[in-house]
């Protein structure tokens, strides 16, 4: 029952938005009258992308009715089919959606965010590398304050402890860098209903070491009152990654090494592992396949050697989806 809450809210919000802006006097962008050929993947993709942008534009009209320039709508949705086999946890298969619905009529100060940001879990214990059971589904309205510090505020619902809980979040992000290096700092503070807090901070440093290789060090610190991920203490993740550019832009590869520490019930290392991620554009410019074999040792399994393999098929829909880049390896 709880798993259906987020989908129901999304569908309801879209329907209400469409009804609210149904007035003929509201300046709605003309819709394409092309029919979808359900036997042609390109036709399906283009049709779905057009409808995604159309619904996003109607949601945008819910907040303001000013006419915006053509092409200002930058909504993009990522649909992922994930399959993982872990030697200890077995098989896990799931469909995941990430979306950021652009609202250009608000001067992009507002956005609807579905299931968070990619940079919130990449390469840490919250993703498939170390915790197959993590569930981070969410729906939030985001307000971004235009400034160099990129201060933003979210309000919505997020899945915790097997149920959806209301939350507000403040995020501060700071970026500096040069031609061959970059530093990123991020602090997120969550407040959930029932007076529960979370803190999620990260710092990363990246540097180009050669025309084909990029090194990145990523440190993440978490504290949660609402579940037992960190057992009431602090979780620290340290990830070292080397990204490699291959001869073709259709392919990319990354090499990860992760170290994981907890402070409770005692300060100690709780896991370590290595992983190789290979990502490849398949058949179409908007479709990607990824495979990631991994080897790890974890305290909860008495430091026994174990392996896992992760597969992902990802389709990108919406704004410029046919020009999507292999984002996680861009440098």
Query: Residue 45: what pLDDT?
Result: 75
pLDDT one-digit tens code per residue, 251-274? 889 999 999 999 888 889 999 999
What the block records as the tokens of 116 is 């968070």
What the block records as the tokens of 198 is 């979370």
Local structure of residue 30 (DSSP, 8 states): P
Query: Residue 323: what pLDDT?
Result: 56
pLDDT one-digit tens code per residue, 148-172? 657 889 999 888 767 788 899 999 9
Are 51 and 29 in contact by the 8 Å Cβ rule? The answer is no
- At residue 60, the 3 state secondary structure works out as helix
pLDDT over 70 at 41, yes or no: yes
Query: Residue 148: what pLDDT?
Result: 61
pLDDT over 80 at 80, yes or no: yes
Higher pLDDT residue, 173 or 27?
173
Find which of 8-12, 228-232, 262-266 is predicted with most confidence, using mean pLDDT: 262-266
Residues 56, 58, 63, 64: what is their CA dihedral angle, to the nearest 10 degrees? 120
- At residue 224, the 3 state secondary structure works out as strand
Question: What average pLDDT does the segment 273-293 reach?
Answer: 90
pLDDT category of residue 182 using cuts at 50, 70 and 90: very high
Question: What average pLDDT does the segment 43-54 reach?
Answer: 75
Higher pLDDT residue, 175 or 17?
175
pLDDT over 50 at 128, yes or no: no
Question: What average pLDDT does the segment 47-70 reach?
Answer: 67
Strands 251-262, 268-281: parallel, antiparallel or unpaired by DSSP? antiparallel
Query: Residue 18: what pLDDT?
Result: 44
Residue 187: which residues within 8 A CB-CB, separation 6 or more? 171, 172, 173, 199, 200, 201
Lowest mean pLDDT among 3-17, 51-65, 219-233: 3-17
């Amino acid at each position: 029952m709880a798993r259906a809450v987020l989908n129901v809210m999304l569908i309801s919000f879209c329907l209400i938005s469409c009804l609210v802006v149904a007035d003929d006097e509201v300046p709605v962008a003309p819709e394409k009258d092309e029919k979808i050929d359900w036997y042609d993947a390109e036709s399906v993709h283009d049709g779905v992308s057009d409808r995604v942008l159309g619904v996003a534009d109607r949601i945008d009209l819910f907040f303001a009715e000013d006419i915006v320039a053509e092409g200002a709508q930058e909504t993009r949705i990522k649909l992922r089919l994930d399959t993982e086999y872990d030697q200890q946890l077995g098989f896990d298969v799931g469909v995941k959606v990430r979306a950021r619905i652009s609202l250009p009529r608000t001067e992009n100060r507002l956005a609807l965010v579905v299931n968070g940001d990619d940079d919130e879990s990449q390469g840490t214990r919250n993703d498939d590398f170390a915790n197959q059971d993590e569930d981070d589904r969410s729906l939030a309205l985001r307000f971004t304050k235009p400034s160099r510090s990129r201060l933003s505020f979210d309000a919505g619902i997020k899945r915790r402890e097997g149920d959806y809980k209301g939350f507000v979040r403040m995020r501060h992000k700071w970026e500096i860098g040069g031609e061959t290096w970059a530093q990123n700092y991020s602090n997120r503070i969550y407040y959930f209903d029932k007076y529960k807090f979370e803190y999620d901070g990260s710092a990363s440093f990246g540097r180009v070491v050669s025309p084909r290789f990029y090194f990145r060090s990523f440190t993440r610190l978490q504290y949660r009152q609402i579940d037992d991920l960190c057992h009431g203490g602090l979780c620290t993740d340290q990830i070292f990654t080397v990204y490699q550019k291959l001869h073709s832009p259709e392919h990319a590869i990354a090499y990860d090494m992760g170290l994981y520490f907890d402070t409770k019930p005692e300060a100690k290392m709780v896991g370590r592992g290595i992983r190789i991620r290979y990502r490849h554009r398949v058949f179409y410019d908007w479709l990607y396949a990824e495979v990631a074999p991994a080897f790890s040792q974890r305290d909860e399994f008495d430091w026994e050697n174990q392996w896992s393999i992760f597969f992902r098929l990802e389709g990108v829909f919406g704004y410029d989806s046919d020009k999507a880049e292999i984002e996680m390896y861009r440098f």
